[in-house]
């Protein structure tokens, strides 16, 4: 899709070559008509309004109202797109709008609407341009909290002087006023100015009707002038039609890409020279490897030469509300970012090799400073006969080992980050220098200390290390340097069927069979008009014995599958760099070295499986340029030996890292071909996403298209990383590194996921849709998804069935049901964790919602089974039930439900699912009436309360203590609620209100010491129900009932002095047989205490069905519900007021 900028250039070019007539400026009417077309683009709703809302919300933390100066608003202010809660905060509005027509309409618009309801006076609209001499108010003394240039800097040159002028009219008290620019396409040069925040919207589009008159209007507005010449008008229409994209669904419109940027400046924007004077300038942009990064004009690139200078950068950024990027090897697109200061680490380029025993420890280590690259480290280590498991290219820098590091030794020794045992870091919270882990004394910088949360910092550096500080050096564990033998195959593939079968053979018969010291990378690429599968086998050996030689048995087996190898070599660690197939064999060695590339990497398993192979092969068919390819790096082995939460790098369970590589000719950098290749990479990554088991964070940056992949980059470590980012980088100094789930995670921590279950035709999809609309009306984001769609997709690929009909045509779906079920069951046999994978895929694809409704899921006891996978979210099951007659009626209606699940349960039986089940859903909704009323009423009563303010208030009363009782654990002090003013009363009232049963039918509130006593007593008082106290063994006089209890979560985590088995007891006659009781506890974690209490109640004659449990806080990660179900307490109704991630 051509950008508006390239359209502009093409239009100008046409006018030059085809006309002798002179250009004329646009009249107001012409300008207004063109502006109207662009204003309908997606940017206002999807980018400008959310960004502006965020900025204004921040401004409002220091003031109650704001005044706004808007430059060139057009006929309506952009502020109209803001939510009313923010518009209400605007008390003064001033505008400079030079176009009379617009200024008059703007005045008229203000008269006819009350869009800014709190204005203290009429808007002050100046019908003149904003110039460097413009005076604001009487004697130029008027000041504003927000100055806004929205698409209005055209013609204001030099840009930076206009920004400086705008900075001059910001209020001085309270501080924090901002100047904000929204700009479409093109580059703005704010020479020497440093910005406070930036954002981009690369996916913005504008569409225009393919109609002569409309195109005339659009073309002259885009070109910026008009020419009274029919031939030019006709030629311009042709240019628009040639460059515009058409959508098959609506071919009557032309689409153009219209990327946007937002840049915000605060009053410190001009202070950069102060910092720049303290240290040398860094690398010129054209010395940076990544060619996308070269296009990003930084505010300044500085090159500290010692640690105090790095500290100066950090402290300066903290003092001035600035962000920093760090420039390591320069291979990412975001090491330089427009208008941001880059800290170039190239002065830190030493490598120190300490052989065994030198620092008093037995293992050899390599200390690499952060300005080194992979080649430097390998070469230096080899001089001592050592190596470090790094990546495949010598020029790649610290970003690799801080964020993972996948190389040919990964299967044997793990990732590069796994080899990190220590580091020197300048923290970005205060600029202090820290040593973490193993840093030999002689390498301790002066003044460095060990941070309090040292183990957390080291944990975070191993996989997410670009987000927590500026790393000065790392200590690697070193290994004996091996010799490598390599062999290559390039196999032409005649068609898709052959391609699939070859990939399958490679996976099953070669890759999966290799020992750990061998790895086999695959490449899918087109060359000379044919799809090819390239394979390179790498074998490392420290003894000289290789299997990768033509003579060995393994080599013969591999050749039986792949055919005779093309080339082979034996090399050392440095020679290995030249053995990469894309460097030597493919496309004449990377397009003859005159290409640029863009990559994103997804983690895959079973690449030979039909759906996966199909997706990989199909991806190449859509490649926008001939050199685009997929590189599959072999993983498994030692990578998966490390448990997912042992380091921040949380994606461990994969066999191949698929690097989707978009390549374009170098002279097209920044132009259409580059954009097309980048779009292709993102599209392929999105298509692979449902099949993949994670994404590689090392490539991801601030481009908003990276967010969905970043949300899958850290496996189960997301929330811990979000918390650590908040602790280690509270001001977001490193705002442009791999996006951690900071804001998104905060939202997710309150996310509610509702699994909607029930029999066929009970109305599951209908109810889910109704509830989505109810939540949307309440200004919450909600979505409903069917979990079986993923399987349908894979089934369609494997069998050639029509996916659209499978998704939407009920009869067709029924026809395929048996085969689809068999397909799913077969898949589960091969991939037992498939239900879990599908579940995670669905929830991870919806990180942006407050409430997600999942239908089509029939896994037994979904809450007990899956909640530990989403420890920050509240997982609920709502079972929909309806009488047979009602279900029969609904059976006739299309689109009521996806009739049956894929576990083979036909949807057509009438018997209740609930009866035979060994678990109890969170709620049951009896859906026996028509219309949405009852469903809305149910959700209003039972689901909406999870978003009520009181619950948030209660959550805030739970204080947390990091690293208590031992490092890595964040202790949540739930009992602290009782120590807060009003806390106990609030908690008791919420327990009463959230209880799904009837208090009138409850005979006792039961609790165990100590936390349970506090909350249960308060509740018992409120609901006027007798209290029954369970005590530790030996504390009560007979007669008693007693059971043995294994240690609770608290005792086993080291919080209590006691450990081992204990008993609990209660008076034997405290609860009459057959009573209904509510058990109250402060925390539900492992469920062991609860199990013992339920057992005790059983001994006393209380049936599990007659027990409800109410916990104040639940920690799903400990799988308490699963334990209860295993111990036959699945039928117990369990509710928790609060849900917390972490341990």
Ligand X SMILES: Cc1cc2nc3c(=O)[nH]c(=O)nc-3n(C[C@H](O)[C@H](O)[C@H](O)COP(=O)(O)OP(=O)(O)OC[C@H]3O[C@@H](n4cnc5c(N)ncnc54)[C@H](O)[C@@H]3O)c2cc1C
Residues at the site binding ligand X, with contacts judged by CB under 6 A: 325-332, 334-335, 345, 370, 391-393, 396-400, 402-407, 466, 470-471, 698-699, 737
Q: How far apart are CB 451 and ligand X at their closest, in Å? A: 16
Of the two residues 398 and 752, which places its CB atom closer to ligand X in the complex? 398
> Residue 753 in contact with residue 854, Cβ under 8 Å?
yes
**Helix %, strand %, coil % for the chain, to 5?**
40, 20, 40
Q: How far apart are CB 478 and ligand X at their closest, in Å? A: 18
Q: How far apart are CB 86 and ligand X at their closest, in Å? A: 32
Of the two residues 396 and 820, which places its CB atom closer to ligand X in the complex? 396
Of the two residues 98 and 640, which places its CB atom closer to ligand X in the complex? 640
Q: How far apart are CB 608 and ligand X at their closest, in Å? A: 23
Q: How far apart are CB 512 and ligand X at their closest, in Å? A: 22
**Angstrom distance (rounded) from CA 303 to CA 562:** 50
> Residue 791 in contact with residue 810, Cβ under 8 Å?
no
**Angstrom distance (rounded) from CA 758 to CA 756:** 7
> Residue 246 in contact with residue 255, Cβ under 8 Å?
yes
Which of 190, 179, 192, 178 is closest to 271 using CA atoms? Answer: 192
Of the two residues 460 and 988, which places its CB atom closer to ligand X in the complex? 460
Q: How far apart are CB 582 and ligand X at their closest, in Å? A: 9
For strands 518-527 and 530-541, give the pairing: antiparallel
Q: How far apart are CB 452 and ligand X at their closest, in Å? A: 21
Which of 730, 728, 732 is closest to 453 using CA atoms? Answer: 728
Q: How far apart are CB 614 and ligand X at their closest, in Å? A: 27
**Angstrom distance (rounded) from CA 925 to CA 912:** 13
Q: How far apart are CB 337 and ligand X at their closest, in Å? A: 9
**Angstrom distance (rounded) from CA 1010 to CA 1007:** 9
Peptide bond connecting 937 to the previous residue in cis, omega within 30 degrees of 0? no
Of the two residues 34 and 399, which places its CB atom closer to ligand X in the complex? 399
Of the two residues 395 and 618, which places its CB atom closer to ligand X in the complex? 395
DSSP letters of 463-493? HHTTSSEEEEEEEEE-EEPPEEEEEEEEEEE
**Angstrom distance (rounded) from CA 476 to CA 741:** 28
> Residue 842 in contact with residue 887, Cβ under 8 Å?
no
**At a CB cut-off of 8 Å and minimum separation 6, what does 140 contact?**
none
Of the two residues 633 and 761, which places its CB atom closer to ligand X in the complex? 633
Q: How far apart are CB 390 and ligand X at their closest, in Å? A: 8
Q: How far apart are CB 678 and ligand X at their closest, in Å? A: 14
- Kindly list the distances between the CA atom of residue 729 and the CA atoms of 84, 423, 957, in Å, as whole numbers in the listed order: 32, 17, 24
> Residue 433 in contact with residue 425, Cβ under 8 Å?
yes
Q: How far apart are CB 458 and ligand X at their closest, in Å? A: 14
> Residue 694 in contact with residue 639, Cβ under 8 Å?
no
CB < 8 Å & 24+ apart, contacts of 636-639: 636/411, 637/410, 637/411, 637/412, 637/516, 638/410, 638/411, 638/412, 638/413, 638/414, 638/418, 638/516, 639/406, 639/410, 639/411, 639/414, 639/415, 639/418
Of the two residues 393 and 587, which places its CB atom closer to ligand X in the complex? 393
Of the two residues 471 and 991, which places its CB atom closer to ligand X in the complex? 471
> Residue 200 in contact with residue 184, Cβ under 8 Å?
no
- Tokens 């048996």 identify what position? 818
> Residue 241 in contact with residue 255, Cβ under 8 Å?
no
Of the two residues 330 and 983, which places its CB atom closer to ligand X in the complex? 330
**Angstrom distance (rounded) from CA 97 to CA 890:** 59
Q: How far apart are CB 514 and ligand X at their closest, in Å? A: 18
**Angstrom distance (rounded) from CA 883 to CA 915:** 14
Of the two residues 331 and 411, which places its CB atom closer to ligand X in the complex? 331
Which of 771, 927, 758 is closest to 849 using CA atoms? Answer: 771
**Angstrom distance (rounded) from CA 930 to CA 934:** 8
Of the two residues 32 and 332, which places its CB atom closer to ligand X in the complex? 332
Of the two residues 226 and 301, which places its CB atom closer to ligand X in the complex? 301
Q: How far apart are CB 653 and ligand X at their closest, in Å? A: 17
- CA triplet 601, 605, 611: central angle to 5 degrees? 95
Of the two residues 639 and 991, which places its CB atom closer to ligand X in the complex? 639
- Tokens 């018992």 identify what position? 1020
Of the two residues 429 and 557, which places its CB atom closer to ligand X in the complex? 429
Q: How far apart are CB 1025 and ligand X at their closest, in Å? A: 57
Of the two residues 662 and 871, which places its CB atom closer to ligand X in the complex? 662
Of the two residues 677 and 1111, which places its CB atom closer to ligand X in the complex? 677
**Angstrom distance (rounded) from CA 550 to CA 542:** 19
Which of 286, 327, 260 is closest to 596 using CA atoms? Answer: 286
What's the burial of 783, exposed, middle or buried (CB within 10 Å: 0-12/13-18/19+)? middle
> Residue 159 in contact with residue 153, Cβ under 8 Å?
yes
- Kindly list the distances between the CA atom of residue 25 and the CA atoms of 35, 157, 226, 228, in Å, as whole numbers in the listed order: 14, 18, 6, 11
Q: How far apart are CB 588 and ligand X at their closest, in Å? A: 17
Q: How far apart are CB 335 and ligand X at their closest, in Å? A: 3
| C-alpha Rg value of the chain to the nearest Å | 32
Of the two residues 290 and 845, which places its CB atom closer to ligand X in the complex? 290
Q: Locate 242 and state its tokens.
A: 């040639």
Q: How far apart are CB 612 and ligand X at their closest, in Å? A: 21
């Amino acid at each position: 899709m051509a950008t508006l900028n390239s359209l502009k250039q093409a239009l100008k070019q046409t006018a030059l070559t085809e006309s002798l007539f002179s250009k004329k400026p646009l009249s107001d009417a012409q300008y207004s008509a063109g502006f109207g077309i662009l204003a309908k683009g997606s940017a206002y709703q999807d980018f400008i309004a959310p960004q502006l809302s965020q900025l204004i919300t921040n401004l409002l933390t220091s003031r109650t109202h704001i005044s706004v100066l808007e430059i060139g608003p057009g006929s309506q202010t952009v502020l109209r797109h803001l939510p009313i809660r923010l518009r209400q905060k605007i008390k003064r509005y001033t505008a400079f709008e030079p176009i009379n027509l617009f200024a008059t309409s703007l005045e008229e618009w203000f008269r006819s609407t009350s869009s800014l309801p709190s204005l203290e006076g009429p808007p002050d609209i100046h019908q003149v341009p904003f110039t460097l001499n413009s005076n604001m108010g009487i004697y130029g003394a008027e000041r504003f909290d927000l100055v806004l240039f929205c698409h209005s800097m055209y013609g204001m040159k030099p840009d930076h002087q206009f920004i400086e002028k705008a900075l001059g009219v910001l209020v001085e008290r309270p501080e924090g006023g901002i100047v904000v620019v929204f700009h479409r396409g093109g580059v703005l040069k704010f020479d020497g100015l440093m910005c406070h925040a930036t954002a981009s919207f690369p996916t913005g589009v504008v569409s225009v009707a393919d109609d002569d008159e409309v195109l005339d209007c659009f073309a002259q507005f885009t070109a910026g002038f008009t020419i009274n010449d029919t031939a030019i008008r006709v030629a311009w229409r042709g240019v628009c039609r040639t460059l515009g994209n058409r959508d098959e669904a609506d071919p009557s419109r032309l689409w153009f890409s219209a990327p946007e940027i937002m840049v915000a400046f605060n009053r410190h924007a001009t202070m950069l020279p102060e910092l720049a004077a303290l240290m040398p300038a860094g690398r010129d942009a054209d010395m940076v490897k990544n060619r996308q990064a070269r296009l990003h004009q930084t505010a300044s690139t500085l090159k500290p030469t010692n640690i105090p200078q790095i500290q100066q950068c950090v402290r300066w950024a903290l003092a001035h509300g600035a962000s920093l990027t760090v420039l390591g090897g320069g291979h990412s697109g975001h090491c330089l970012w427009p208008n941001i200061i880059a800290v170039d680490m190239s002065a830190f380029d030493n490598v120190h090799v300490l052989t065994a025993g030198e620092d008093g420890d037995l293992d050899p280590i390599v200390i690499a400073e952060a300005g080194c690259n992979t080649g430097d480290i390998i070469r230096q280590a080899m001089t001592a006969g050592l190596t470090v498991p790094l990546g495949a290219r010598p020029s790649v820098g610290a970003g690799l080992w801080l964020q993972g590091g996948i190389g040919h030794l990964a299967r044997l020794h793990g990732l590069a980050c796994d080899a990190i045992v220590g580091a020197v870091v300048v923290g970005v919270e205060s600029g202090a220098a820290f040593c973490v882990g193993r840093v030999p004394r002689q390498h301790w910088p002066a003044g460095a200390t060990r941070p309090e949360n040292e183990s957390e910092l080291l944990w975070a550096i191993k996989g997410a290390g670009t987000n927590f500080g500026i790393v000065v050096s790392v200590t690697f564990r070193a290994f004996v340097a091996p010799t490598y033998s390599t062999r290559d195959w390039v196999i032409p593939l005649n068609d898709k069927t052959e391609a699939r079968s070859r990939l399958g053979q490679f996976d099953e018969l070669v890759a999966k069979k290799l020992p750990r010291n061998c790895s086999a990378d695959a490449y899918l690429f087109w060359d000379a008009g044919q799809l090819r599968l390239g394979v390179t086998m790498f074998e490392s050996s420290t003894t000289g014995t290789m299997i990768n030689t033509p003579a060995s048995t393994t080599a013969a087996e591999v050749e039986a599958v792949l055919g005779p190898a093309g080339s082979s070599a034996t090399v050392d660690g440095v020679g290995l760099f030249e053995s990469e197939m894309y460097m030597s064999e493919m496309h004449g060695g990377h397009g003859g070295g005159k290409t640029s590339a863009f990559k994103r990497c997804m983690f895959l398993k079973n690449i030979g499986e039909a759906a996966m192979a199909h997706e990989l092969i199909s991806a190449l068919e859509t490649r926008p340029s001939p050199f685009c390819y997929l590189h599959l790096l072999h993983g498994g082995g030692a990578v998966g030996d490390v448990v997912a939460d042992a380091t921040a790098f949380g994606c461990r369970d994969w066999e191949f890292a698929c690097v989707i590589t978009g390549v374009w000719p170098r002279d097209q950098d920044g132009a259409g071909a580059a954009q097309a290749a980048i779009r292709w990479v993102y599209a392929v990554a999105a298509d692979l996403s449902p099949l993949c088991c994670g994404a590689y964070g090392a490539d991801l940056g601030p481009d908003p298209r990276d967010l969905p992949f970043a949300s899958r980059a850290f496996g189960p470590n997301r929330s811990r990383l979000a918390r650590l980012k908040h602790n280690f980088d509270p001001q977001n100094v490193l705002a442009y590194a791999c996006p951690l789930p900071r804001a998104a995670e905060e939202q997710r921590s309150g996310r509610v996921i509702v699994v909607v279950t029930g029999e066929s035709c009970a109305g599951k999809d209908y109810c889910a849709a109704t509830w989505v609309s109810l939540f949307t009306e309440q200004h919450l984001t909600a979505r409903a998804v069917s979990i079986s769609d993923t399987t349908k997709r894979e089934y369609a690929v494997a069998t050639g069935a029509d996916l659209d009909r499978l998704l939407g045509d009920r009869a067709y779906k029924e026809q395929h049901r048996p085969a689809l079920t068999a397909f799913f069951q077969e898949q589960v046999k091969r991939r037992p964790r498939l239900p879990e994978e599908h579940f995670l895929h669905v929830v991870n694809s919806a990180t942006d919602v407050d409430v997600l409704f999942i239908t089509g899921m029939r896994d037994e006891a979904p809450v007990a089974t899956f909640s530990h996978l989403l420890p920050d979210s509240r997982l609920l099951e709502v079972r929909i039930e309806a009488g047979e007659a009602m279900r029969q009626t609904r059976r006739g209606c299309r689109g009521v439900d996806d009739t049956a699940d894929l576990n083979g349960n036909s949807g057509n039986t009438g018997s209740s699912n609930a009866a035979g089940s060994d678990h109890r859903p969170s709620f049951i909704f009896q859906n026996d009436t028509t219309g949405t009323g009852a469903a809305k009423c149910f959700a209003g009563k039972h689901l909406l309360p999870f978003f009520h303010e009181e619950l948030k208030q209660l959550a805030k009363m739970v204080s947390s203590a990091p690293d208590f009782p031992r490092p890595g654990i964040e202790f949540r002090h739930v009992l602290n609620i009782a120590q807060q003013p009003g806390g106990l009363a609030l908690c008791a009232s919420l327990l009463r209100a959230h209880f799904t049963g009837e208090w009138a039918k409850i005979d006792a509130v039961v609790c165990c010491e100590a936390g349970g006593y506090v909350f249960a007593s308060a509740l018992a008082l409120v609901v006027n129900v007798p209290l029954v106290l369970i005590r530790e063994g030996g504390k009560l006089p007979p007669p008693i009932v007693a059971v043995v209890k294994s240690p609770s979560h608290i005792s086993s985590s080291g919080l209590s002095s006691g450990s081992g088995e204990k008993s609990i007891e209660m008076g034997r006659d405290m609860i009459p047989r057959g009573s209904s009781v509510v058990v109250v506890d402060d925390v539900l974690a492992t469920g062991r205490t609860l199990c013992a209490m339920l057992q005790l109640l059983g001994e006393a004659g209380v049936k599990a069905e007659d027990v409800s449990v109410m916990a104040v806080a639940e920690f799903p990660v400990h799988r308490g519900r699963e334990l209860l179900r295993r111990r036959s307490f699945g039928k117990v109704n369990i509710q928790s007021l609060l849900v917390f991630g972490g341990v």
